[in-house]
Structure 1
Amino acid sequence: MARGEISKGALRGTGFVSLGHDVYQAASAPVDQVTLARAALLRHPDGAVTGLAAAVLWGAGTAVADVDATLADTDVPAGATEVLVSGAGARSRGSVDVRRAELAEDEVVTWRDGADGTLRLTSPARTVLEVARRLPTVEAVVVADALARRTGVTAADVVALADRHTGERGIARVRAVASLMDPRADSPRRTRVRLGVLLARLPSPTVDAVVARSATGETVGALDLGWPATSSGVLVDRHPAQARLCAEELLAHGWQVVSLGREGEQPVAEVVADVATFLARVDRLRWRDLPDLRGRYPRRPAAPRVWT
């Protein structure tokens, strides 16, 4: 505009879209998270993109989309590009959420945006910290699991960072999220099922459990959630034919297996309730050969149902 190459009226026309205060892009160009992050840093070049926006750039886009869809019916704000700045005076405008925070050198990473440029992002551990202190615990764990799987960040890394920021708002929630992280959960829904099992105070499962023969070490099969102590496990959201194929060897090996989820159509609460029913049945099977106090043996239950 200073050179007279474009007018304010043209910027307000249909040929451009606004990406923030005094930041515009041609309407024909796609708008993705990289573009939004670049636009936010044009206004705050010394800042660092954080929160869900940084999680998307670190590869957790599927988890963030799942969280956004879940939060759409709540009063928790979502969709803004969060930026941490060290100086005072910056304020949030439009879709850019600006917050003041001091960042150590190891909490900021230079990220290549694929267009011969770079962006400043918070490190995976700091991203988990910022997500955990602003979102409900379950939603934060969904994002944290995805970041752990994509970037290799561990719960110990998050706890060490939380210890550095002891006394700040939301750090207790950060520690709670770190204690629930598990990088083996390969989808948001499986993270939600795992958390539902824990919140229902059922026995803690092994995620992505691999069953092997003790004599040869040969792999028998894999389960989404497993309880090796009781030789039982659950397959989640599998097609019936695929679930049967996965379960055949495990059943022959003496394991109790159930397939739940109806390929993603069953609500998580119902899946957790079915897991509780399955574990109760496994527990009855374990004690079926012991007599009661009167010396009588209980009726042996019928053969376990494999498919639900």
Structure 2
Amino acid sequence: MSAGTAVDQVTLARAAMLRHPDGSLTGTAAAVLWGAGAAVADVTTTTELSGLTEVLVPGAGIRSRGDLDVRRAALPQDEVVTWPDGSDGAVLRLTSPARTVLEVARRLPTVEAVVVADALARRCGLGGADVVALADRHTGERGMARVRAAAALMNPRTDTPRRTRVRLGVLSARLPTPVVGAVVTVAATEEVVAELDLAWPGTRGGVLVDRDPADAWSRAGALLDHGWEVVSLGAGGEQPVAQVVERIVAFSARLDRLRWRDVPDMRGRLPRRPSAPRLWV
């Protein structure tokens, strides 16, 4: 490595493999190499694992130093993946996607762990059941309850870290569980109308999060024509997640009022005519 080379997490991971050839990269470093770099960048800025490269080594006499965290662990063969790294024949050893989620979830707060887990699930075709099965294999080890909690919240259809945080905020607010990435179609023809980031089909309400205004208006217009109520929030990502969740809670309350307003009273009379669907702003 030349003196001018920037030492990022990937560079440190490759250096760790030279020092511990029998070890396996894990945690956020492995998640970056699996393609979840954006999610890792989102979570590590606010956690103690910022820039930390974790390596699991089967033997004794291990030592951590600086940003290299080396721990002892003998990994089963199906929890390690190897591939060539570059033209010099070097080989990287990474924990499997499921084991990577396990290591991330046992060390990070649940919300941060789910942000990374969603990205890995989307990139690697991973499901929460895969992580739970692995946690069951390691029952009795530290942090398995946290791993199972994170696995229960994973959803591969959540396509950005902020949308994962909004989805988890909605669940924390005790709203009904939304359908993630719901594709609305015309029943008669199965023609696709539009896709919503979060949707409640029972009340025909949906949320668009961080969509470009032109894209949001296009989607919302098609959905309004088919009887959906829509709210578009957080364009450009400038709204704090907590504020986005508060506005979704208010939107959900409006949907409930609309639903009850359109229910006949005991004499079969409607209090007022049902309102036309609209885009909530």
TM value normalised by structure 1: 0.86
Inter-partner Cα distance in structure 2 for 1:217 and 1:135: 42
Provide the C-alpha distance between the structure 1 equivalents of 2:35 and 2:199, rounded to a whole number of angstroms. 27
Contact 1:34–1:113 (Cα < 8 Å) also in 2? no
| Alignment correspondent of 1:90 | 62
Secondary structure in 2 aligned to 1:26?
A: coil
The offset of 1:70, in angstroms, is 2.8
2:168 — aligned with what? Answer: 195
Provide the secondary structure at the position in 1 that maps to 2:253: helix
Match of 2:151 in 1: 178
Moved more, 33-42 or 223-232: 33-42
Gaps of 5+ in 1: 1-24
| 1:263 aligned to which of 233, 236, 245 | 236
Cross-structure match for 2:29: 53
| Residue 249 (structure 1) shift | 1.1
Picking from 56, 80, 83, the partner of 1:108 is: 80
CA distance in 1, matches of 2:139, 2:130: 14
The aligned counterpart of 2:136 is: 163
Query: Displacement of 1:266 after TM fit?
Result: 0.6
Describe the superposition over 1:205-241 as per-residue Cα deviations: whole angstroms up to 9, x where unpaired.
1111100111111111110111111111001112222
Structure number with the bigger relative contact order (C-alpha 8 A, sep ≥ 6) is: 2
Which stretch of structure 1 is more off in the superposition, 32-41 or 187-196?
A: 32-41
SS in 2 for 1:266: coil
Give the match's secondary structure for 1:139.
Answer: helix
Q: Distance in 1 between matches of 2:170 and 2:268?
A: 35
How far 1:45 moved relative to its partner? 1.3
1:78 aligns with 2:50: yes
Supply the distance in 1 between the matched residues of 2:147 and 2:273 (Cα, whole angstroms): 47
The answer to whether structure 1 residue 245 and structure 2 residue 218 are counterparts is yes
Q: Secondary structure at the match of 1:194?
A: helix
Report the 3-state secondary structure (helix = DSSP H, G, I; strand = E; otherwise coil) of the residue aligned with 1:134. Answer: coil
Deviation at 1:291, TM superposition (A): 4.6
State the Cα distance separating 1:288 from its structure 2 match: 1.1
Q: Is the 8 A contact 1:110 1:121 kept in 2?
A: yes
Rg: which structure is higher? Answer: 1
Q: Output aligned runs, 1:1-308, within 5 Å.
A: 25-71=1-47, 76-115=48-87, 116-291=89-264, 298=271, 306-308=279-281
State the Cα distance separating 1:255 from its structure 2 match: 0.7
| Cα distance, 1:59 vs structure 2 | 0.3
* Alignment CA distance shift 1:219-1:302 (3 Å): closer
User: Alpha-carbon deviation of 1:289?
Assistant: 2.6
The superposition leaves residues 103-145 of structure 1 with CA deviations (integer Å, 9 ceiling, x where unpaired) of 0000111033233421011010000000000000000000000
Write the distance in 2 (CA, Å) between the matches of 1:218 and 1:105.
46
Shift, 1:300, TM fit:
6.0
* AA aligned opposite 2:51: G
Report the secondary structure of 2:188's partner residue.
Answer: coil
Q: Which moved more, 1:228-237 or 1:292-301?
A: 292-301
1:139-170: CA deviation from partner (whole Å, max 9, x where unpaired) = 00000000011111211111111010001110
| 1:142 counterpart SS class | helix
Provide the rounded CA distance (Å) in 1 between the counterparts of 2:273 and 2:140.
57
Q: Closer, same or farther in 2 for the Cα pair 1:301/1:212, shift >3 Å? A: closer
CA distance in 2, matches of 1:193, 1:301: 30
Question: Could you tell me whether the CA contact under 8 Å between 2:262 and 2:272 is conserved in 1?
Answer: no
TM-score norm. by structure 2 comes to 0.94
8 A contact 1:236–1:263 mirrored in 2: no
Report the AA paired with residue 40 of structure 1. Answer: A
Residue 11 of structure 2 aligns with an amino acid whose one-letter code is T
- Work out the CA distance in 1 between the residues paired with 2:124 and 2:28: 15
* Distance of 2:228 and 2:212 partners within structure 1: 20
Displacement of 1:67 in angstroms is 0.3
Per-residue deviation, residues 5-57 of structure 1 (Å, max 9, x unmatched): xxxxxxxxxxxxxxxxxxxx212334343321111122211110000000000
